Chains A and B, each alone.
Chain A
Amino acid sequence: MTEDFTRAADVVGGLIDRWFMIAGQPVVLQFAGPRLLPLTEAFEHLACLPQPSVPALTIHLWDRASTGIGVAAPPLDGRIGEAAGLRVLWHELPLRVLLQPGQGSLSAIDEVSGEAWYWCDDADALPYWEFAAPLRMVLHWWLGTCGALMLHAAAIGSDNGGVLLVGRGGSGKSTTSLLGLRAGLQFASDDYVAVDPTLDATGCPTVHSLFGSGKLTADQYANFPELHAGVVNADRLDIEKAVLFVNRVFPLQLVRQFPLQAVLVPRITGLPKTIAHKVSPIAALAALAPSTLFQLPGTASADLAAMAQVVRQVPTYALELGTDLDAVPIAIANLLRSLDSERHE
């Protein structure tokens, strides 16, 4: 793959490097030509100057359409096939590979060298969600090597820390995160986030933002007009969810990280008031783990153990979402204040 990438860079006349601080570590996205640069907008809030140190991860990106260079896929030999051929995972450690034949892309990482590759056949054929949350599997694999993990969760907070909102699609976590954004809370994620279970100086795990984006359903798009200026595909909402880049509308609320104060499991109740009440760690794990593990496969056993570590370390709540939507972020802010007070007593 390195040879293919080098040939692609030669064809287009050189490399374009972009540096980011992802989960607190320097990461370089190295492009052969400009065609895949739009993938970086989701990481703009994590951008940094070139670092003097060796990057913890270097991802090489190129496409066939603009460079004419394909990729030599590894021999699959009928190894793990998932979801009726929609994606194929192949692990021969330290190498991990994901083929997505339908969208014509390949992701790979060498977990020892800290090098990764992302190739696609044609950037124009990539689905819209690839730009909202790019390089998911590469980052998922890499985070695992750093002692962190990627979670299927939204994350919002305040200066004192924040919460994870966990649950399957339709549970209300995305809407809750958008309500928090609109109300002035800090925003780290509406869908995928990194968590380092290691306790920081305040005794909390750390939430790291990965993608400064959101995906809005038609109802959410209609209900959040203040976000429209950040939506990049407003002309295609009949066939796509709205892709929101938060840095375009609320850049100051987009945070890189915060201490994790609690894990919340949203539930839509139909009642007017929003109430948080404690639930067991296993209830939070049951809301968090299945969707995370089935969307981000490959390291399930270690990831489940790490998730269990997270829900043991912080309080876990059910968030009974009321119909008074403006009261939802207030309830979360009140809970955060209360938790912060308890921790300082």
Chain B
Amino acid sequence: MQGQRFRINAPDVINQVIDGEAIVLHLGTGRYFSARGCGAEVWSWLSASVPVPAVVEALASSYDASPDAIAAAVDEFVTYLSGEGLIVDNFDDQPAATPSPTISTPKPSFELPVMEAFGDLEDLLLLDPVHEVSTEKGWPHVAPEAGSHG
């Protein structure tokens, strides 16, 4: 994994990063994600096809943690993102992007990159009037457990 580059699994996956925070939506699975720790930073670099070793190096220059610990955390993060179908291997031959880490002294402590998942959108499809239907019978049969709305 260490030499790999990735890209966002578009068009199923869309994302926005604002002020160092990220939201990621998988339109195929109905799950959405919010980054915690240094997750948004790592997500931004991975989705820009920065190679994994360069991500680890950039984090090691920014945070107070051993490169081995950072590498293990990034590997675990990448495995999770891949498992959720948020990123896929990038085999194109374009030049690799380089990260722009924030360097401060003293280095802040390293917070594990985490992508918190929310899986309530399938419920949403049943809650909203547009979809307030039985998934078995279709329109106009109302879903038996459709709840309050707003």
A residues at B contact (CB < 8 Å): 83-86, 100-103, 125, 127, 129, 132-133, 136, 152, 154, 168-175, 190-191, 215, 217, 219, 239, 241, 280-283, 285-286, 289-291, 293-295, 297, 300-301, 304-305, 307-308, 311-312
Contacts and interface: CB of A to CB of B under 8 A. Distances in A.
A190 B121 CA distance: 20
Given A84-B135, A169-B149, A241-B129, A293 B21 contact: no
Given A129-B130, A168-B120, A169-B127, A219 B19 contact: no
B43 to A, nearest CB: 12
Contacts of A84: 135, 138
A307 B32 CA distance: 16
B147 A170 contact: yes
Interface string B112-150: 000000101100110111111101001111100001111
A152 B131 CA distance: 14
Contacts of A127: 129, 132, 139-140
30 contacts: A83-B131, A86-B131, A86-B135, A86-B138, A102-B133, A102-B138, A103-B139, A129-B129, A136-B130, A169-B127, A169-B128, A170-B147, A170-B150, A173-B150, A190-B150, A217-B149, A241-B129, A280-B19, A280-B21, A281-B18, A282-B23, A285-B23, A286-B23, A286-B34, A290-B32, A295-B128, A300-B11, A300-B25, A300-B27, A307-B16
Contacts of A191: 129, 150
Chain B's interface size range is 35 or more
Nearest to B142: A239
Given A168-B124, A169-B149, A297-B27, A311 B138 contact: no
B30 interface: yes
A300 B25 CA distance: 10
Contacts of B22: 282
A86 B18 contact: no
A84 B21 CA distance: 34
Contacts of B23: 282, 285-286, 289
A170 B127 contact: yes
B131 A290 contact: no
A207 B139 CA distance: 32
B103 interface: no
B55 to A, nearest CB: 21
Given A83-B135, A102-B133, A102-B140, A305 B150 contact: no
Pick from B22, B27, B118 the residue with the most CB of A within 10 Å. Answer: B27
Interface in B39-74: none
A61 to B, nearest CB: 19
